[in-house]
Chains A and B, each alone.
Chain A
Amino acid sequence: SQELEQSPQSLIVQEGKNLTINCTSSKTLYGLYWYKQKYGEGLIFLMMLQKGGEEKSHEKITAKLDEKKQQSSLHITASQPSHAGIYLCGADMSGAQKLVFGQGTRLTINP
């Protein structure tokens, strides 16, 4: 959706390196969700952000939502092969939790 831009579309990273995925909205968000998907499978919930300036971490993954609530980043520290997959950001633009998704970022981790 042009309302939500996710970048980069693909990312190849050496194991152990850090990486960042960005998600930018044209509208102020009620909530921003990060999911991980393996090709042809369902989505694994990672994190949800609601407040401007909010930051959450789980293991080696950190997600932030900017103060304006229009941009979010997902940062992975010391990447591992298990981090490989497709990362999707989903935005709640209406408050009804109907999510608009970005195009996804395909992450490959090289050993």
Chain B
Amino acid sequence: GAVVSQHPSWVICKSGTSVKIECRSLDFQATTMFWYRQFPKQSLMLMATSNEGSKATYEQGVEKDKFLINHASLTLSTLTVTSAHPEDSSFYICSARDPGTNQETQYFGPGTRLLVL
């Protein structure tokens, strides 16, 4: 199946710093990518939809100024956690739609574990 990569796989940062997470579709072009967050022993929660060439759309309760999303190309979306705080520590996973398949299957990256000290 299609491959989606994320970088870094894990990051530890100090409170108040900003962290950038990259999501790449490796063998297909993705006009739409999604960013999810998963807290320990919980399911995934959609944060925002990343649209290539336009602004991201955020789910209710997600601060757009806190979680900056940039989808500058058809293969790359970035999520920047600005002024990170310990409560932002979580597992962030992106997904991308492969429009080339008949059913637009959605593939997920391996995730990025963020720990804010």
Contacts and interface: CB of A to CB of B under 8 A. Distances in A.
Interface of A: 1, 31, 33, 35, 40-45, 48, 50, 88, 90, 96-104
A101 B44 contact: yes
Contact of B109 (A42, A48, A50, A88): A42
A50 B111 contact: no
A48 B46 contact: no
| Range of interface residues on B (Cβ < 8 Å) | 20 to 34
Contacts of A43: 44, 93, 95, 108
B43 A99 contact: no
B89 interface: no
B108 A42 contact: yes
B113 interface: yes
B34 A99 contact: yes
B9 to A, nearest CB: 10
Contacts of B108: 35, 42-45
B1 A98 contact: no
12 contacts: A41-B110, A42-B4, A42-B109, A45-B106, A48-B105, A48-B106, A90-B44, A98-B46, A98-B49, A99-B34, A101-B45, A102-B43
A58 to B, nearest CB: 11
Given A31-B103, A97-B104, 18 more contacts: A35-B108, A41-B111, A42-B4, A42-B108, A42-B111, A43-B108, A45-B105, A45-B106, A45-B107, A50-B103, A96-B49, A98-B34, A98-B59, A99-B46, A99-B106, A100-B46, A101-B43, A102-B43
